[in-house]
Structure 1
Amino acid sequence: MGRIATVDALSQRNCFSGDSMCVLCEDFDESADHLLCGCCVASNVWSMVSRWCRVSPIFVFSVRDFLGLSDFSGLGELAKEAFHEILIVGAWCIWRARNNKRFNNSLKTAHDIFLDIRSLGFHLYRNRSRNKAISWANWCSFSLM
Structure 2
Amino acid sequence: MFTVDSIKRKLQRIRLPVPDYKFSWNNWVPKKVSIVAWRAEKNRLPTMDVLARRSIYCISDLCAFCGEVEESCEHTFVSCPFVRSLWQVIGQWCKVQAIYAFSFWDLLGLHDSINGSKNKRKAFRSIPLTTIWCVWRRRNDVVFNRALVSLAKALKKQRP
Partner secondary structure for residue 88 of structure 1: helix
- Structure 1 unmatched ranges of 5 or more: 120-145
Q: CA deviation at 1:114?
A: 1.9
Amino acid at match of 1:40: P
User: 1:53: Cα distance to partner?
Assistant: 0.6
The match for 2:103 is 62
Per-residue deviation, 1:58: 1.0
Deviation per CA, 1:22-53: give whole Å up to 9, x if none.
01111111000000001111111101110011
The percentage of counterpart residues that share the same residue type is 30
> What is the CA–CA distance in structure 2 between the aligned matches of 1:17 and 1:109, rounded to whole Å?
23
- Aligned partner of 2:139 in structure 1 is 98
Bigger-Rg structure (1/2): 2
1:91-120 alpha-carbon deviations (Å, 9 max, x no partner): 01111111001010012422321221222x
Aligned counterpart for 2:53 among listed residues 2, 5, 12: 12
The TM-score, its normalising length taken from structure 2, stands at 0.69
Bigger relative CO (Cα 8 Å, ≥ 6 apart): 2
1:87: which partner in 2?
Answer: 128
| In 2, Cα distance between equivalents of 1:116 and 1:32 | 20
Q: For residue 73 of structure 1, what is the aligned residue in structure 2?
A: 114
The amino acid of 1:78's aligned partner reads N
Distance 1:36 1:75, change over 3 A: farther
Question: Is the partner of 2:119 in helix, strand or coil?
Answer: helix
User: How many aligned residue pairs are there?
Assistant: 119
Alignment of 1:132-143 (within 5 A): none
* Further displaced range: 72-81 or 92-101: 72-81
Q: Which moved more, 1:90-99 or 1:53-62?
A: 53-62
Contact preservation (8 Å) 1:37, 1:62: yes
1:22 and 2:58 equivalent?
A: no
Could you list the runs of 5+ residues in structure 2 that have no partner in the other structure? 1-41
User: Is it true that 1:41 corresponds to 2:88 in the alignment?
Assistant: no
Distance 2:72 2:66 in 1: 12
